[in-house]
Amino acid sequence: MKACLYIAWKDLKVEFRTKQMLNSMLLLALLIILVFSFAFQYLGNVKQYTSGVLWIAFIFASILGLSRSFTLEKEQSCLEGLRLCPVERSTIYLGKILSNLTLVLIMEFITIPSMILFNFHIPVLELIPVILLGTVGLVAAGTLLSALAMNTKLREMLLPVILIPILLPLLTAAVTASTKLINGILDVTSELRLLITYDIIFLIFSYFSFEYVIED
């Protein structure tokens, strides 16, 4: 357990020295909001598309960050070093999940206020459970597939194409729940239940299958 905290700490330390990844994730999220605001300006009711814009921004900005998470290790064979650590492969996965989760949550934490600033109506408190559960599932599946994509010929280019299909059930549940909450419907138990199921299934599955993805 301690080992996975060290791995996460190492990742975050590397990131916060430059903040390259975080900055580009944030800028992408903001750009997406900007572009969609232009695209949808004639739709009239902002509430109708807020959750769509929110999740598109989250998903694409997260994919940008996740794809980097393992290519960084590939440089100068850092992954070899990680693999040499006297810890289980799954510990590396947990460490990676923790660092990725932190980065994605920071990105979301800054994106939401900016959306409110740009005149989107977002009931932050009600949305918190949906966003948290959605983010956990996104990072759990994303970390596994990012490790997988890193070893293909296309490298991180492959990640969005293979990750989004796997995320579709999570996305539909998260977007539906957010749309309901934004429009004042507070009953989202079935969506939350689905998000929790997805998170648990993917955390367990990735935990056990990670060794197959990372071994050389």
Partner 1 sequence: MQKKLVQVLIILTAITTLASIYATFNAPAMKDERGEVLPDAFRIFYFHVPQAWGSYLMFTIVFIASIMFLKTKAYKWDIYASCAAEIGVVLCTLTIITGAIWAKIAWGVYWTWEARLTTVLFLWFVYAAYLLIRSTAEDVEKRARYSAVFGIAGYITVPLSYISVSLWPGAHPPITVVWSGIEGAAIKTTFFLSLAAYTFLFILLLLIRIRVANSIEELERKKRVMEYG
Residues that bind partner 1 (CB under 8 A): 141, 144-145, 148, 151-154, 158, 161-162, 164-166, 168-170, 172-173, 176, 180, 190-191, 194, 197-198, 201-202, 205, 209, 212-213, 215
30 vs 36: CA distance, rounded Å: 10
Cα distance between residue 153 and residue 14, in whole Å: 26
Q: What is the C-alpha separation between 144 and 121, in angstroms, rounded?
A: 34
Q: Among residues 65 and 142, whose Cβ is nearest to partner 1?
A: 142
Q: Which residues make Cβ contacts (< 8 Å) with residue 68, sequence separation at least 6?
A: 21, 156
Least separation in angstroms between CB 85 and partner 1: 21
**Nearer to partner 1 by C-beta: 5 or 166?**
166
- Block residue for tokens 């990680």: 82
Q: Which is nearer to partner 1, 21 or 167 (CB)?
A: 167
| Under 8 Å between Cβ of 67 and 149 | yes
In the complex with partner 1, which residue's Cβ is closer, 17 or 153? 153
CA-to-CA distance for 54 and 109, rounded, in angstroms? 12
